[in-house]
Structure 1
Amino acid sequence: MPPWPRLLPFLLLPALALLPAPPASADDTPSLAAEPAPAGDRAFLVEHADVRGHLLPSARLLLDYARRPLVLRNPNDELDPVISDQTYFHALASLSLFYRATVSLDVPFSLTQAGSTPPSGDAFPRAAVGAALGDLRMGARVRLAGGLDEAGQGAALGLSASLWLPTGTDGYAGDGAVRARFALVAEATGKRLHGAFSGGLRTRPAVALPGVLPTRVATSLTLGLAGGFFVDGARTLTLGGELSADLPFLGGARLFDPRATVAHALVTGHYRITGGPLEIGLAMGPGLGRGAGSADVRVLALLGYAPVKAKPPPDRDSDGIPDKSDACLDLVGVESGDPLLHGCPEPPPDYDGDAVPDENDACPRAAGEATFVRKTHGCPKDTDEDGVPDKKDACPTEPGPKPPAGNGCPKPKEPEPPPVASLAEQEIVISQQVQFETGTAVLRPESDGVLGEVARVLTDHPEVTRIEVQGHTDDTGTPDVNRKLGQDRAESVVEWLVRRGIARARLVPKGYGSDKPIADNTTEEGRGKNRRVEFRILEKKPVTKDASNPAAGGAK
């Protein structure tokens, strides 16, 4: 809601002041009562600007005694004390709202008002001497700018408005008409000093009181100044002074006319009992004008209840944590021992403490890092993606098995098996035996693999021009039989190689039988090793660039 609708009543009051004043009451006896500041204000007559609390009530009972508040000069040129002594009692109450506005009420009672008679006996009409109800006053104030901080220091500017209802029941207790006041109010408070200012406009019915020199009451300018100092650091005792003035300027009155001006200078003292909300105060001082209500001496005494609730420090997000210590100014948060998190929303559960919430953590029980990839977000770093975190991976850049099968390193490579057939300096070495049917030269099918590799070597190396295919046996049987078996087996191998394209001229079969054992023939293992075929190189020549196609194997 824009602020101007709240200020509309205050903006209309100056216009009301310029309207013709309503007719005065029949007895033309205007109110002579002082107009105290609202309950809760530090001053007696000068209204303050700040608002100290929300839904915070204040109350005050004020006794106002005035000596000779109305003196007129009669036709005999004598001073006629129409009211020589007057005592008022004010019951005041106020309520602060939102640390921004205050509404107030003042119910005045005239307790005593008496006048003495001049020597000639020629006196103006007197008021009744009994108690009478005065004009009830309702007020409102809004703080426009500034304000006191939690220590009660600072400056504030505000607008104030009051409305009097014609409830006065006897002469000089009320004006007999509705009246209003509009004022600009300001205050400033430091550690030891304080001050307040009020300036505005008040409407009143125009009245010219009888007398040789008429005393006029009319719409007027109002001014007020208050200041003082705190005697102690707790601000329980305050001493100071106030100046208030009512300066009529309509209804035939001239501004600063002494017979229309109502002004008072007061010396004030204010004490908060035990530093709490209960207060007592006393003020007294002379009048500075001769208008109706400007007394020779005025004495005010008060007893009140004025609690003060400091305005809370700024809290932009309304989370109860002041902005000056709130790490997240725009987010409702909670208190925290960590100043970087104080006032921030409570973090979601994070079991492993890696700053990745459990609900988004792919590894909620293992501290990791943010990767923003769903399957690894919040998981320990695993460069080689082998499931073993880098901190525990003995080989972080090479994938390997997890414990207990491994430590993250790849398993050593198995040595490559030796080739089935390979060319050495003096022979073609085979890693598998050529197999024959027992006691015969018949090749078994499983021998095709090793003999195929031998054929490959011979094909790849045409420089090997002659090899001896040797047939060896164990010592089972007679030497002649074994030699014959060895010879037959060597020839079977040669025939197999020839069928595979190897030139017969390169192959020389030779049976040695059991004459050249390589192992102990007394054991089965040894005899198995002795039953073998070997390929010994007999001739080898260098290979030339224009050698015949090796695929032909030298075949004719």
Structure 2
Amino acid sequence: MFQTPIPLPPRLRLLYALVLLPSLASAASTTAPAFDLERLSLNPTSSAALGTAAGGLREPGELRLSLAAHHERSPLTLYRDGERMDALVRSRTQVQLAGTYTVSKRFEVGAILPLMAHQDTHGFSDVGMTTPSSWGLGTPVLQGRLGLLDEASAPVSLAAELAVGLPVGNKDSLQGSGGWDVTPRVSAGRTVGPVVLGLEAGIRLRNRTAVGSNAVGSELPWAATVATTGHKLRGELGLRSAVPLTDSPVPVELLAGGRYALGSRMEVFALGGPGLGTAPGTPAFRVMAGLSVSALQAVQPVMRPRITEAPAPAPVVAVAPEPAPVEPPVAMVDVCAPNQSHSLEQCPDLDDDNDGVANAKDYCPVDPEDRDGFLDEDGCPEVDNDGDTVVDAVDNCPMVAGPTSNQGCPAKQKQWVVITQERLEIREKVYFATGQARVLPRSLPLLEQVAKVLINHPELKRILVEGHTDSRGRPETNRTLSQQRASAVVQHLEMRGVPAGRLMAAGRGPDVPVASNNTAAGRELNRRVEFHIEPEPASGQAARD
């Protein structure tokens, strides 16, 4: 803040300029110092916390836009011998628009655009300076973040970031210095039980500007935060500060925030708290509140009509000509009558295996035809339609030959689904947006393949899709989320042609872990989707929930 080294009577405030700005002693009115007064910008990513990156990136292909109103009280105050005299900037209100796009699992880009809506200034003329403008464009920031470590496979999440403030901020409203503002920094985070611990530090490089008896310029900013990991409602508490590389007091702020999800793609948030110290840009308190929207930049699946199996052609049964009526012997028994023992030759018109092919034309009269659309007229079940040595029961592509290592499909069609006796094993995860039931684009090819396998295997009449979570958060909330995720997977399969009557969804929450929840790797394994092959219920038995 502005400070005066020599005590002066309050009524001589017009002489403050002689003490605060010696170089301006001969000037009647001088432009206020040109520097960016703002010390806090909205974190565009906000995956773990609103104010700190915590080493995390959002999911690949995700676009997030945020709009926030930002109000500060007394961010620039006049002091004399450590005693507060007056606020030169009594309040200011900004609108901040922030956006980020995650290009890949390791890289994302972002931008921040601040706009000054109102600034209440007072007393600049008393210290020999022109009054700053009350509105204008702030310093736009472009940034890129590179993910170095992921907590799922490392002790912490770690990211490196470069933020560049463009030299276009309005110098007349304390929103820019006319120079570049460059901040390289690193951030790290680790999940501990129900919270995420985050830390970031860097170096801010900008022009040195004299502000009274102090100077604003380069510094070493740092921040620490702790945030909860709930799915619907989350909170956070953070501490922000910096080590000045110029003659300036140390800025300190304590910020608390919360965010509430409005469905799977929208949330409202608020962040605020007091500032401590006399550094320019440290307000008595600040509050920020806004709305964010997430969207997936990927081609969404096309709604397709459900594919139903074509009815099998009616079997052609040769009917022997009626024999001339003959009086049966009185004691003769009809061996072809129901429940009578007979040989196949004795009853050529019957269908002993009930496959629609009469005994006389059935090459496998005691083994029913499988009716899979391949040589169904011979009455024999074909074990391997395409002759690739992968039996049809576990062949993902039963009508197209392929190697055993690729589940019987052509080598160029990589398979992630394996048919077993009890389930469809998947070699990839189904990924969802954090804390939401929205399937991410990276998992759409996997679900497309699951749907094709189910369509190719109509004998798998009932599939139970189970959703599972880790143990973080409230169990009931996790069960609800896992049910919603399982239902979302079912919906995707239906959109790809799997009849709804073959699919069921169940959310198990944290109740069936497959690994320890005490490690990040274990929690990653526990967050999963499973596809169970269910037996057909007996007549009258209720379907499984």
- TM, length-normalised to structure 2: 0.48
- Higher relative contact order (CA closer than 8 Å, sequence separation 6+): 2
Higher-Rg structure is 1
- TM, length-normalised to structure 1: 0.47
